[in-house]
Structure 1
Amino acid sequence: MNLDQVNALDTAAFVARFGALFEHSPWVVERAAALRPFADLQTGLMAALHAASADEQLALICAHPELAGKAAIDQTLTAASSAEQASAGLDRLTPDEFARFHALNAAYRARFDFPFIICVRLTDKAGILAAMERRLAHTRDAEVATAIAQIGEIVRLRLGDMA
């Protein structure tokens, strides 16, 4: 589907096609539909996210699963999240790696009150763990901004998968 066709979709079809790009948050795509026509789809989608309130952005961040967390164990991840976590080897953790992820997830959530977000397809287990440790020193505002930027990378790759 080319950009002219995307811009011509009615709102329902636009949301049906792109609503799953943002983890459990089709509202972002619904709002983006009103911003069309787009010169670039990802830029338009992210504009809708950046225009959202801080509480709405935080809700999107909180809609994401913890990496190698309960949802992965229970197999309740979305198909996209499951594939993404598997691409970084998070479905094949040693007991020590699992314990480290669990401890860092808990420390991160205790510090920021939302899950750690990273585009796992652009790194590996070691890179994710190093980022978790490094980002624990950030301010909450810096982490919200980083999470939003990482969500943008996730969306960019998911859009590429649709092409």
Structure 2
Amino acid sequence: MRADIERILIDEEIIEKRLDRMAEEIGRDFPQGNLLAIILLKGALVFAADLLRRVPRQLELECLNVSSYHGGLESSGTVKFLDRSFPEVRGRHVLLLDDILDTGRTLHAVAERLRAEGAQAVHTCVLLAKDRPRDQEVAADYTGFVIGDEFVVGYGLDYRGRYRNLPYVGVLTREAIEREPGA
């Protein structure tokens, strides 16, 4: 897999240090006893698991399966809610965790749905935020790293289901992208 990576953008040690700081911030910012963390699957799973184990307070955990990339290099423009049921959020403080803030469509759509379902407050947390104009006016309350507008994999982020298990964030080679079926 390493041969498919053009360059490592953020290595494992830097990610670990940043997660420590983010967990401290989250632990300070939320009222006790009412925090519900919602992980957007599949991309945020690795990031959220590592981050939430560090948060120095009790919380509840739910997952939502949503999709906007559908296997490609760019957002499709459509956010699909793939679960039949939705977590009970009425009156709760929700920490919504996603892997990357790109177009803003996914974070915006899910946050709006959480508010419509009665969440008391929705706070957003992403591992990565691309430095680019957004299709939706949205900013994350907690951001691990700001990156350029390039396609990245690793640490939960994938290309066609692969590379999620890399312990770092990297940029794929053009060759790796072109040899994938359907690319």
TM-score by length of 1: 0.24
* Structure with the higher strand share, 1 or 2: 2
* Structure with the higher helix share, 1 or 2: 1
Larger RCO: Structure 1 or Structure 2 (Cα < 8 Å, ≥ 6 residues apart)?
Answer: 2
TM-score by length of 2: 0.23
